[in-house]
Amino acid sequence: MSKVLKNRVVGLRRVMVGLAALSAVTAGAALAADPTDTNFGTKGIAEIEARIPATGQVGGIADLEPAAGGKMLAAVHSMAAKSHYFAAARILPNGRLDPSFGADGFTHRFQFGRESEVAAGGVLQAEAVAAQKDGKVVLAGYREVRSAFAPALARFTSRGRLDQSFGHGGRITPRPLYGGRRVDGGGERIHDVAVEPDGTIVGVGDVVPGLGAGPSRPGALAIAYRPDGTVDRAFGHAGSLRISVPRSGAYTGFSQVRALPSGKLLVSGFLRQRLVVYLLTARGRIDRNFGDGGRVIVGAASTHELFGNGGYLRAPFAVDRQGRIVLAGPIFAKGGSQAPVVLVRLLPDGRRDPSFGRSLYMEKAPIDRHEPTPRKHVENYAFPPQSVAIDSAGRIVVVGMELAPFTRGQAEPGYQYFAARRFRPDGRLDRGFGHGGVWDTNPAGSKSMARAALTQPDGRVVAGGWIQLERGAGNGPGNTAMLLTRYR
């Protein structure tokens, strides 16, 4: 080979190496594309402190739902032990509080229950919020006193004040009862709420087994209220639908409900720790034409005991423009502790959509084998989904938290990040979103979590949750702020 030819070959190799390096850098930049919409909040992130009068405690976002004019309603999730702060907030499309709502954006504070009941301690927890067609706001959750539970609801005017035409002075006073009797433990909780076209309010949740006069078996619960707050006895059986199972450590309960344009109700949750979706009529009957006799079950029955009294799982879903149902959640092997995450799409009649994804199941957590901040000796890494939303391009955003708990012998503590994954309309991971399909919103703080997501009228997805702020006095539940972000 001549010297000139050798020089040309060497030069060509250098060019090829340079192109390969540039390609790798470009690909890496693409994989790390920040999807945050910087026109939202402050450089794409909004932190809102919901300070509670007299106590100074703060909260996060448990649920996000759309309101008129592109605004958002948030259920304020109290972080402090023994808190009785039961409130909603209204947020402008740009991530700032709506000052025309309640007191500086939050519903006016009020006493929920008798003074003696509040003095007894326990927790009053807001879990879900919904907007009525007339602009009124329904807030739902539960009350817990000494491990006894009861549903809690309140309704506010469009200006954030208690609606006196609902229940007793705007609220349904939560007293732990079951079958009309006081319970010694257990009871009923509401985890989500929806408003039907005729104004009927439907809450879904779970039945927690207890002692004495309490329920003896766990179950899933759907309960309906008339627009005035009284129980709608025409719904289900005397006002409610309960699906009970034998008592065991495997969880059963509903976590999400949506009122469909058809007037029917789509409900998701777990049945003995198997993901399940039910279709109900507006009157609370199971629609037997959906799926297999009215329901679709994903995964096998689990014998792995997950919770003691009081824990529950989330099975988030979203419905696209074609009426297809995108469902996410963990599934549990028999006797095993591993919890792979499933993402599945159902046709409107409950049949599996064969055009979605390469397989039924995602990979075991981490579902994409990606840790945003690699750390030595971190074990049990997971991504439990909390909410699902679909943007105007049909892309699916699943939000939750990157979770790596502390383990024995670990060189540094675990972490918990506000996180999202985005999938293309065909179910494949959208590699152009963040780090190969994954993005963590991680402002300064000790830990954070995404709990809710919604699609704004312009088709962009907003995620909400909370963050523990680091201050001079340390961090913890007393330093928690609401956290929101929007994706491009």
* pLDDT at residue 109, rounded to an integer: 76
* pLDDT at residue 54, rounded to an integer: 53
Between CA 122 and CA 344 the distance in angstroms is: 38
DSSP type of residue 469: P
Return the domain boundaries, the chain: 35-487
Exposed e or buried b per residue across 283-297, where buried means at least 16 C-beta atoms within 10 angstroms of its C-beta = bbebbeebbeebbbe
Binned at pLDDT 50, 70 and 90, residue 471 comes out as low
Helices (H), ranges, 254-402: none
Note the pLDDT tens digit of each residue in 203-232.
999 998 877 666 888 899 999 999 999 999
Question: Where is mean pLDDT largest: 119-123, 290-294, 405-409?
Answer: 290-294
Which position has the higher pLDDT, 247 or 196? 196
Question: Where is mean pLDDT largest: 44-48, 111-115, 172-176, 382-386?
Answer: 44-48
CA 214-218-224 angle, to 5 degrees, is 85
* Integer angstrom CA distances of residue 427 from 359, 386, 400, 423: 9, 18, 18, 6
Between CA 93 and CA 343 the distance in angstroms is: 29
Phi, psi of 333, rounded to the nearest 5 degrees: -75, 155
* pLDDT at residue 273, rounded to an integer: 87
Does residue 151 have a cis bond before it (omega within 30 degrees)?
A: no
User: Do the beta carbons of residue 89 and residue 97 sit within 8 Å?
Assistant: yes
User: Which of these ranges, 358-367, 384-393, 410-419, 469-478, has the smallest mean pLDDT?
Assistant: 358-367
Calculate mean pLDDT across residues 161-167.
Answer: 96
- Examine the pLDDT at 82 and tell me if it is beyond 70: no
Cα 436 to chain center, whole Å? 23
* pLDDT at residue 225, rounded to an integer: 97
What is the reported pTM?
A: 0.87
Binned at pLDDT 50, 70 and 90, residue 16 comes out as very low
Q: Which CATH superfamily is domain 35-487 in?
A: YVTN repeat-like/Quinoprotein amine dehydrogenase (2.130.10.10)
Question: Where is mean pLDDT largest: 1-5, 290-294, 336-340?
Answer: 290-294
Host H or E run for residue 423 = strand 415-423
Strand partners, 130: 138
- Examine the pLDDT at 367 and tell me if it is beyond 80: no
Binned at pLDDT 50, 70 and 90, residue 165 comes out as very high
User: Do the beta carbons of residue 183 and residue 213 sit within 8 Å?
Assistant: yes
- Examine the pLDDT at 288 and tell me if it is beyond 60: yes
Three-state secondary-structure class, residue 325: strand
Host H or E run for residue 342 = strand 341-346
* pLDDT at residue 26, rounded to an integer: 32
The pair of structure tokens assigned to 137 is 């706001």
DSSP type of residue 70: G
Closest by Cα among 351, 435, 433 to 396: 433
